[in-house]
């Protein structure tokens, strides 16, 4: 089978590498970075220097997998490809697009006879070694045609439920499942983070890596995230001293919470974990100032002021009612 790959970053580049290493499928690869294209060529892919060049090197019916950032970059890539591809060709979005965007793109491509498949991909930088869990949405015919590529990218499994990828319904279903997957991931990460934060503050000199490794031995909280926590403590040290307490969010946690609100589904854990990420970036700093000011006003409680030594709190008399 032949497939084009657009976007050769940490995920896309490794996916091309895995396909070429573990199968005889042909890959034509393009990225704005010439170095990334050369890296793909070193693994056996055919390089392209533009989307037009990539499409010209594919045989009909063409299959083009996109691994670029969600939002405008993905939309621009889809729009350009729509003008280059023909009826029966297929676009696969393996990025973190919102499922509603997938549905809109599919509807726009339908009159041209171009298939659109959304594939939510989980596995990160480890996917090259262990494979990628893929949550797929799209027309049955298109997904069946893509299956040989999905089989190579997925983890090898003898599970009775099938391979390490699943087709969950029409276009949008794949990224919807991946969106909720990431929301659950937020909550799990936050729970681990809070547990290790308590260890860090307790009276005992605990070895966090040792705890995480132990929890992997039959504990009910064992998981890949727990395994990665052990690895992180080993690499960064028990107190993670070199890391700033700053946590970004990719957007899918927000979409999960937004959809939960629309459907009136309570999601306190996932919602709180998202807000904790906002808090880590100082986005509640003004609220903390307001809290401090109010305590000072009603109770004369001490406040900390900028430019004064740490601990040089200032008391103000409370206003009389």
263 labelled catalytic:
no
Query: Please, which residues have CB within 8 angstroms of residue 271's CB and are 6 or more apart in sequence?
Result: 257, 260
Measured distance CA(321)–CA(316) in Å, rounded: 15
Measured distance CA(134)–CA(147) in Å, rounded: 11
Closest listed residue to residue 135, CA positions, set 152, 161, 117: 117
Measured distance CA(210)–CA(221) in Å, rounded: 15
Please tell me which residue in 20, 103, 178, 252 is annotated as part of the active site: 178
Measured distance CA(223)–CA(188) in Å, rounded: 10
- 154 contacts 164 by C-beta, under 8 angstroms: yes
Dihedral class, residue 282 (left if φ above 0, else alpha if ψ from -120 to 50, else beta) = left
Closest listed residue to residue 301, CA positions, set 312, 317, 286: 317
Please tell me which residue in 20, 39, 103, 185 is annotated as part of the active site: 185
185 labelled catalytic:
yes
- The catalytic site residues sit at 178, 185
């Amino acid at each position: 089978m032949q497939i084009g790959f657009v976007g050769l970053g940490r995920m896309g580049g490794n996916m091309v590498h895995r396909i070429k290493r573990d199968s005889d499928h042909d890959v034509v690869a393009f990225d704005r970075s010439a170095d990334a294209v050369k890296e793909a060529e070193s693994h056996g892919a055919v390089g392209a220097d533009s989307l037009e060049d990539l499409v010209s090197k594919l045989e009909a019916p063409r299959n083009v997998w996109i691994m670029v950032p969600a939002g405008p970059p993905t939309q621009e890539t889809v729009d350009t490809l729509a003008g280059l591809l023909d009826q029966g060709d297929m676009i696969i979005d393996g990025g973190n697009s919102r499922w509603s965007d997938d549905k809109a793109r599919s509807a726009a491509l339908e009159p041209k006879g171009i298939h659109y498949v959304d594939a939510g991909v989980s596995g990160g930088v480890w996917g090259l070694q262990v494979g990628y869990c893929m949550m797929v949405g799209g027309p049955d015919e298109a997904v069946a045609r893509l299956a040989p590529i999905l089989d190579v990218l997925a983890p090898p499994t003898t599970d009775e439920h099938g391979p390490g990828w699943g087709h969950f319904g029409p276009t949008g279903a794949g990224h919807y499942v991946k969106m909720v997957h990431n929301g659950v991931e937020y909550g799990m990460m936050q729970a681990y983070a809070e547990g290790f934060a308590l260890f860090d503050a307790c009276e005992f000199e605990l070895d966090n890596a040792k705890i995480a490794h132990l929890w992997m031995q039959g504990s009910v909280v064992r998981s890949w995230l727990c395994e990665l926590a052990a690895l992180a403590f080993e690499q960064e040290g028990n107190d993670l001293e070199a890391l700033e307490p700053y946590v970004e969010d990719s957007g899918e946690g927000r979409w999960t919470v937004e959809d939960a609100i629309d459907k009136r589904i309570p999601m306190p854990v996932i919602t709180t974990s998202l807000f904790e990420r906002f808090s880590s970036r100082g986005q509640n700093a003004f609220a903390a100032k307001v809290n401090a000011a109010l305590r000072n006003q009603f109770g004369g409680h001490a406040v900390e002021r900028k430019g004064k030594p740490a601990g040089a709190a200032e008391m103000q008399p409370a206003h009389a009612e």
